Amino acid sequence: MLKKLLHDPLSHFLILGTLLFFIYAFLQDNEKFENEIIISTDRIEQLTLAWEKKSFRTITEEEKQKMIEDEIYQTVLWQEALKVGLDKNDNEIKRRLAQKMEFIVYDTYKLPAPSEDMLKKFMLTHPKKYREEERLHFTQSMSGSNTMNFEKEYILTKFEASNIFGRAFSETLFDMKIDKKVHKIESDYGVHDIYIINKSIAKEKSFDTIKEKLKDDYLSVEREERNKVIYKNLKSQYAISIEEK
């Protein structure tokens, strides 16, 4: 009986017809699913919250309906754009989606709070970052032709002096010794008569005064390192080839 069915052309036609029916039904259901748009209660609440936060007032029922219609409008056009492949090779879309994935992948875990010993160790491994910079206490007056109104007396770090008078001036200023003499230093503003009163020595900051900053910096470094591991694991799941000319 089975052999007869296998060699019967009518049986072949019926089997093929049944397969085609199921394939067509599957494709129809899939197309229906792709064209289905559901604006959920959670999505409406999310949109409403964003609207009210931006407008600083409660949304009216009419405005809510308009907001929902706008969401449907954007979703329809977005779905159609995906169908014709407008999302492909679009750097702006790629960048925005990558940023969203960064938030989802990188920013959803909580790091354990570091102990004081861990923070002190972190502080010791970054000595230049957590120290009071040397400051120069000096007076200056203009002796050049292109004079400007400056304060006469300053207490500045090297960086601060560079911002005011220029890098070359700052470099020369901080190389000078306290010798109770007036020195001339040239800048873009003219020639300055400089008298150094005092120079403080760079030293480590007190742990208690920077404890919170240490904690923030420590967690930032830990998060960055953990994110690198997460990305490395994600990247390892892809076969990457680079085509070069």
- Residue 126 inside a domain? The answer is no
Residue 19 pLDDT: 54
For residues 97 and 75, state if they share a domain.
no
For residues 169 and 216, state if they share a domain.
no
For residues 231 and 218, state if they share a domain.
yes
- Residue 129 inside a domain? The answer is no
For residues 160 and 102, state if they share a domain.
no
For residues 143 and 154, state if they share a domain.
yes
Residue 215 pLDDT: 92
30 half-sphere exposure, CB direction, 13 A CA radius: 6
CA atoms of 143 and 193, how far apart (whole Å): 7
For residues 59 and 111, state if they share a domain.
no
For residues 111 and 227, state if they share a domain.
yes
- Residue 57 inside a domain? The answer is yes
pTM: 0.50
For residues 80 and 97, state if they share a domain.
no
Per residue of the chain (245 residues), give pLDDT as tens: 544 544 555 554 455 555 555 555 544 554 444 667 788 888 888 889 999 888 899 999 999 889 888 888 888 888 888 787 777 778 888 888 888 888 888 877 788 899 999 998 988 888 888 888 888 999 888 875 555 556 788 989 888 999 989 999 999 998 888 888 888 888 888 888 888 888 887 777 788 888 899 999 999 999 989 888 888 888 888 787 766 66
Tally the domains of the chain.
Answer: 4
Query: 118 in helix, strand or coil?
Result: helix
How many other CB atoms are found less than 10 A from the CB of residue 162? 17
Range of the domain at 12: 2-29
For residues 145 and 174, state if they share a domain.
yes
For residues 140 and 154, state if they share a domain.
yes
Residue 25 pLDDT: 54
For residues 152 and 195, state if they share a domain.
yes
Distance between terminal CA atoms of the chain? 63
- Residue 124 inside a domain? The answer is no
Residue 146 pLDDT: 52
Q: Which two tokens stand for residue 169?
A: 């001036």
- Residue 243 inside a domain? The answer is no
- Residue 9 inside a domain? The answer is yes
- Residue 218 inside a domain? The answer is yes
Residue 16 pLDDT: 52
DSSP per residue, 40-89: -HHHHHHHHHHHHHHHTSPPPHHHHHHHHHHHHHHHHHHHHHHHTTTTTT
For residues 196 and 217, state if they share a domain.
no
